[in-house]
Structure 1
Amino acid sequence: MSKIKHAEIVARQFLKKHKLKVPINIEEIAKLLNIRVTYASFEGDGAILYNGKAKLIIVNKNQEIGQLRFNIAHEISHFLLKHRGKIFNTHPGDEKPLYEKCADTCASELLIPRNELKRKHYQFNGDIQKLKNYFQVSEKAMITKMNILNLPYHNTFYK
Structure 2
Amino acid sequence: MFKKSREWHNIRPDEREIVARHMKNVPVKLGAMAKELGISVKLSSLPINVSGQISKTSGGYEIKINRHESRQRQRFTLAHEISHYLLHRTVIDDLGGTLKDNVLYRSGAEESIEYEANRLAAHIVMPEDVLEKAYLEYGEQLSEAAIEHLAEQFGVSKAAMEIRVAA
What TM-score do you get using the length of structure 2 for normalisation?
Answer: 0.75
Match of 1:90 among 83, 90, 101: 101
Counterpart CA distance in 2 for 1:53 and 1:37 is 15
**Equivalent residue number for residue 156 of structure 1:** none
Counterpart residue type for residue 51 of structure 1 = K
Aligned pairs (5 A) from 1:89-108: 89-91=100-102, 92=104, 97-108=111-122
Structure 1 gaps of 5+ residues are 149-159
- Cα distance change of structure 1 residues 128 and 12 upon mapping to structure 2, 3 Å threshold: farther
The answer (yes or no) to whether the contact 2:147–2:161 under 8 Å persists in 1 is yes
Aligned residues: 144
Aligned to 1:139: 158
CA 1:93–1:61 in 2, change beyond 3 Å: closer, same or farther? Answer: closer
After superposition, the C-alpha distances for 1:8-45 in whole angstroms (9 at most, x for unaligned) are 34496543355742210110011001111111223135
Normalised by the length of structure 1, the TM-score is 0.78
Distance 1:115-1:20 versus aligned 2 partners, 3 A rule: closer
Q: Which has the higher helix share?
A: 2
Contact 1:70 1:111 in 2 (8 A): yes
8 Å contact from structure 1 (residues 35, 57) kept in 2: yes
Let me know the Cα RMSD of the aligned residues.
Answer: 2.5
In the TM superposition, 1:5-20 aligns within 5 A as 5=6, 7-9=7-9, 10=11, 13-17=17-21, 20=24
| Identical pairs, percent | 24
Q: Is the 8 A contact 1:37 1:57 kept in 2?
A: yes
Q: Work out the CA distance in 2 between the residues paired with 1:17 and 1:53.
A: 28
**2:66, 2:137 → 1: CA distance?**
33
- Match runs of 1:117-128 below 5 Å: 117-125=131-139, 126=142, 127-128=146-147
Whole-angstrom CA distance in 2 between matches of 1:56 and 1:136: 22
Kept in 2: contact 1:51–1:79 (CA 8 A): no
2:55 alignment counterpart: 50
| Closer/same/farther in 2, CA of residues 34 and 13 from structure 1, 3 Å limit | closer
